[in-house]
Structure 1
Amino acid sequence: MLVPRLLIPTLLFSIAEAVDETVNVGYSIYKGQALPNGVSQWLGIRYAAPPLGELRFAPPQDPPHTEGIQDATQHGKYCLGTGRSPTDTDTSEDCLFLDVQAPTQATVGSKLPVFLYIQGGGFSLNSNPNTNASGLIINSGYGIVVVSLNYRVGPYGFMTDSDKILPNNGLRDQQKVLDWVQKHISRFGGNPNHVTLGGSSAGAASVTYHLTANNGTDRGQFHAAIAESPSFATTLTVTQSQYMYTQFATRVGCVGKDSLTCMRNKTAVELQTSNFNIPLPGASKPPNYMWLPVLDHEFVQDFPYRTFQKGKFIKVPTIYGDDTNGGTKFAPKDTATIQQSNSYVLDQYPELTLNMLGQINELYSNPNNSCPAIGCYWRHASNVYQEARYMCPGMYVSSVVAKHGQNAWVYRWNVEDPEQMASGLGVPHTVELAALWGANYFPDAPASYLDGQINANASSAIQHYWLNFIKYYNPNGRPIDSTSKYTKWEAWGDKAQNRLTFQTGGLTEMIRVDSELKRRCEFWSTNGVALTM
């Protein structure tokens, strides 16, 4: 819904003049665009130098200074993805851009809360580029600023050679944006001292890595965190990941002592032609995602489970959660036997022992009683995957955050879309993004999320809690309104492990985690370090 500018709340802004469409960030001057809905946007802002030539596979460097006014009305191209076409014109190796969206009437003195959002994609692609935050900003009462970004993925962001290539450059790209926000966001009306870091899937995993970066060293770059379906994958050491470099260099024809120079001289099309997954050490088939953060004892000091066990993380309020059927998009739909289900899980986590696989089969019953039949173990495999990778890690992190004196809130997205239910997907991975950003602003949103449909109210529900958290670090608001139509979201704790459950139709309720899920999650937290998670 378009809101006339005359109705935009003015109390949020100082008497100072509103931020101009043209903003000087020091190294460049960008001219954005004021939209008719009261939101202004600056798209395709370069936050780092183009990672080309000698900067390919290198840490992000400062952006170059430019002359004149740079157009900021078009999104920058997003980053080259593993398994994607070499001729995809929407992507580019020159992709280190961010977008800023803010209320048009914000001023440099507004000091609005900032939501810094990291998209997902398994660290293999940018899965949700070109975020449109207009709906969220409008429904905030024009009270927040949103920043979103592209970052390098696949070999461009996560390959190392144990020598000349610094590991985890994709995470360093994100760190560069955290720095950028501290330096420049006030020019757009944002408050660098009030930043909520958020993300989904690999973006949520990134949030978790930033919480634990350098053993939890707090640089004051963010002050609360939201992780939607955080991904805990197999974490290799730099040495263990060497085979990825060797295989990739061999595929592109860069053997010998100067393999890195050779790869830096290849075209992006030549590299993309050979950019596909291969099995992890000890696995038989490629995992869903292979290029991942590695244990470098600097940015990633230890396995995520052990880092949290040691309390080596930034202590801030958090929201963690995921979807009821977070594994259905990933497990092979034709999985027909328990052996195939076990093999799929083993390919994702090759450190699983035979004894562990036996325990998994005891813990996870097969919900499908049509066996023998093609696909009758699909849900078994997806249930194991979703709890190992997303659901159980999120609840574990929340428990540790609560033990260290910070408020933690946990959710489950259980909003059923008729079409997705009919397809067997259930409530799949990161589907809540369509509601968070608003179905009218999100590409390919489920039909039931659109205005006038059964799940249209789910958007206002999730936005209510997220906006309160972004503004007040409390999803219930501050002060808490006892007359609110929304369920009070109870904080997570050891004794009261209750999740806010978003239900079909936009309803919400607090539901206690059942004993069987607790038992399964205890298996993953107990064995997480052994599985290099």
Structure 2
Amino acid sequence: MPMALQYLVRAALCLLFSVGAAVSPTVELGCNKYTGVAKPYGITQWLGMRYAAPPVGQLRFMPPEDTSCNGALQVADTHGKICLETQGDPADNRTSEDCLFLDVYAPTNATSHAKLPVFFFIQGGGFNSNSNPDLDGRGLITASGHSIIVVTFNYRVGPYGFITDGDAITPNNGLRDQRKALEWVQKYISRFGGDPDHVVLGGDSAGAASISLQMAAFGGRDDHLFDAAAAESVSFATVLTIKESQYQYDNLAIQAGCVAANSLACLKSKTAEELQTVNSPIPYPGAAQAPLYMWNPVIDNDIIRDYTYKAFDEGKFVKVPAIFGDDTNGGTIFTPRDTSTLAESDSFLKSQFPYLSLEQLGKINDLYPKQNDTCPSAGCYWRQVSDVYGQMRYMCPGLYISSAMTRHGVARSYSYRYDVEDPAQVAQGLGVPHTVELNAIFGPENLGYAGSAPASYYRNGTNAAVVPVIQAYWTSFIRSFDPNRYRYPGSAIWEVWSERAQDRLLFETGGKTRMELVDDTTRRRCEYFYSIGLDIRQ
């Protein structure tokens, strides 16, 4: 049977995946009851359901707790509030400290016995914001032939999710929120037609970093919360210990006027608006500028027991099929466009990675020469510092994880590079920027609060063709842990990663795909970053 016909037949059969009555829009979740909304395109959505108690008052800065009971039927037709972000506007009514909500999207004709695969997406934002809230699962479900369920959610960020005082505050509560949401999925997703034994983690940027951290959580302990993972632009930031991060707590307490004996009680007594007024980043000790993202997970010898490089090197992670990949120009949206000297480039890097030594900066400068000697002085080093930052923080860590998984016996480890150029982004000098593939994976119409996709991704755009291609790979992986089984007709076979060959799938402009080898220059640069990863606390 021709592959195109196979694809159509499989999509049609997905509509017949089960027998029996469809799941009711009204679901009972313990002592709470929600009713969802059935949409005309065959998907029912439940928006704004609580997966944890409101983390306010005495629960501020504390681990997530179970939701309380609500005897009334709750109509789940509105997204929950977005978690407060670092430097966020205190008057923004779209955000709130009470933000631990999730959304479920499921085929309307799913039954309680359907056991559909579940895609659990962790949004990014550098652990300082919820940068992709309210993503709509419609595009992926439709691309799968209505054969999967999509779950999205908010988790605490900034000081609300990642402050610690070395004493009364449990560290890494943002990661604990994620785990709480995963536990909710294990307990309740079958009531929406989902299979708790077939959960695939998804995530971009800090969401992809969260995937790596959840894989390595508790020393790689497998609590059977997920069964595969697809990570877009995993991020290896500077990871501090509890002691090293104490200056962050101290500064917030000072700025909030909480320098009395019981500073924590004082911080808990403040309104969210009062805290937001002083919720701004400060430099790492010894750095000249504040980092882009100050609040981050810390090593607490509990949920995070070591640096990510070391955890994966030693095989202390949950062994599941996984996709890890990145964009060609992952650093361009972060680095200052007016970087005009090598000194300014080095200063930016030192502000993000304060443990870089002068010798290491010198070696990096050798590995990344200025690309264009004829460029004007203003911004002459923008691409140089962008390449360093993009590969040190995103691309090389992703390649390292792919290799570590292969070394430690994961048979299905896949890697990709996304090189789909949008004309407007190229004209801005951004190239193919950080996590731009999210627009294609979810579909350009389904980005919710995150904003509009580049024009080329919409119908009749120059990159419209990439949308069904990447969605087919992703939904195939979600359904079968194999991106090839239900891939789009004519797209390349996605070969598993080989540490020796270093072969990854290349997404090209216009929806083309092929396998490529990581080039020698990138290999050489990444090898150096691997060698200093522990030194600079990644």
- Shared topology, TM-score over 0.5? yes
Q: Is structure 2 residue 197 aligned with structure 1 residue 193? A: yes
- Which of 456, 474, 490 is 2:482 aligned to? 474
> Distance in 2 between the 1:9 and 1:129 partners?
32
Say how many residue pairs are matched. Answer: 524
- Check whether the contact 1:13–1:107 (CA below 8 A) recurs between aligned residues: no
> Distance in 1 between the 2:500 and 2:88 partners?
46
> Distance in 1 between the 2:14 and 2:208 partners?
34
SS of structure 1 residue aligned to 2:171: coil
Cα deviation digits, residues 5-62 of structure 1 (max 9, x gap): xx97565442221011111011310011000000000000000000010000000000
- Check whether the contact 1:326–1:430 (CA below 8 A) recurs between aligned residues: yes
> Distance in 2 between the 1:367 and 1:412 partners?
21
Pairing 1:77-156 to 2, within 5 Å after superposition:
77-156=81-160
Gapped regions of structure 1 (runs ≥ 5): 1-6
Aligned to 2:8: none
> Distance in 1 between the 2:478 and 2:375 partners?
47
Cα deviation digits, residues 53-76 of structure 1 (max 9, x gap): 000000000011111201100000
Pairing 1:225-236 to 2, within 5 Å after superposition:
225-236=229-240
- Check whether the contact 1:9–1:142 (CA below 8 A) recurs between aligned residues: no
SS of structure 1 residue aligned to 2:281: coil
Amino acid at match of 2:414: W
Amino acid at match of 1:520: R
Kindly state the Cα deviation for residue 280 of structure 1 after the two structures are TM-superposed. Answer: 1.2
- Check whether the contact 2:15–2:146 (CA below 8 A) recurs between aligned residues: no
- Overall identity of the aligned pairs, in %: 54
Aligned to 1:517: 522
- Which of 408, 411, 417 is 2:422 aligned to? 417
Aligned to 1:437: 442
Aligned to 1:261: 265
Aligned to 2:308: 304
Pairing 1:363-382 to 2, within 5 Å after superposition:
363-371=367-375, 373-382=377-386
- Check whether the contact 1:117–1:148 (CA below 8 A) recurs between aligned residues: yes
- Check whether the contact 1:19–1:106 (CA below 8 A) recurs between aligned residues: yes
Q: TM-score, normalised by structure 2?
A: 0.96
Higher RCO structure (Cα 8 Å, ≥6 apart): 2
Aligned to 1:206: 210
Aligned to 1:32: 36
Aligned to 2:3: none
Cα deviation digits, residues 323-379 of structure 1 (max 9, x gap): 111000100011000110011011111111111011001111212323551101001
- Check whether the contact 2:372–2:380 (CA below 8 A) recurs between aligned residues: yes
Pairing 1:305-344 to 2, within 5 Å after superposition:
305-344=309-348
CA pair 252-8 structure 1, distance change in 2 beyond 3 A: farther
- Which of 464, 488, 491 is 2:493 aligned to? 488
Gapped regions of structure 2 (runs ≥ 5): 1-10
Amino acid at match of 1:466: W
> Distance in 2 between the 1:49 and 1:458 partners?
40
SS of structure 1 residue aligned to 2:30: coil
SS of structure 1 residue aligned to 2:40: coil
> Distance in 2 between the 1:494 and 1:94 partners?
45
> Distance in 1 between the 2:445 and 2:385 partners?
33
Q: Is structure 2 residue 297 aligned with structure 1 residue 293? A: yes
Amino acid at match of 1:453: G
Greater CA drift, 201-210 or 365-374: 365-374
- Which of 167, 188, 201 is 1:184 aligned to? 188
> Distance in 2 between the 1:365 and 1:474 partners?
39
> Distance in 1 between the 2:12 and 2:261 partners?
62
Kindly state the Cα deviation for residue 282 of structure 1 after the two structures are TM-superposed. Answer: 2.4
Kindly state the Cα deviation for residue 491 of structure 1 after the two structures are TM-superposed. Answer: 0.7
> Distance in 1 between the 2:370 and 2:22 partners?
59
> Distance in 2 between the 1:65 and 1:277 partners?
37
Pairing 1:381-420 to 2, within 5 Å after superposition:
381-406=385-410, 407-420=412-425
Pairing 1:452-463 to 2, within 5 Å after superposition:
452-463=460-471
> Distance in 2 between the 1:182 and 1:57 partners?
25
- Which of 229, 235, 251 is 1:247 aligned to? 251
SS of structure 2 residue aligned to 1:263: helix
Amino acid at match of 2:452: D
- Check whether the contact 2:15–2:147 (CA below 8 A) recurs between aligned residues: no
Greater CA drift, 36-45 or 469-478: 469-478
> Distance in 2 between the 1:10 and 1:399 partners?
34
Q: TM-score, normalised by structure 1?
A: 0.97
Aligned to 2:454: 446
Let me know the Cα RMSD of the aligned residues: 1.2
Amino acid at match of 2:109: Q
Cα deviation digits, residues 188-230 of structure 1 (max 9, x gap): 0000000101100000000000000000000111110111001
Q: Is structure 2 residue 69 aligned with structure 1 residue 65? A: yes
Aligned to 1:360: 364
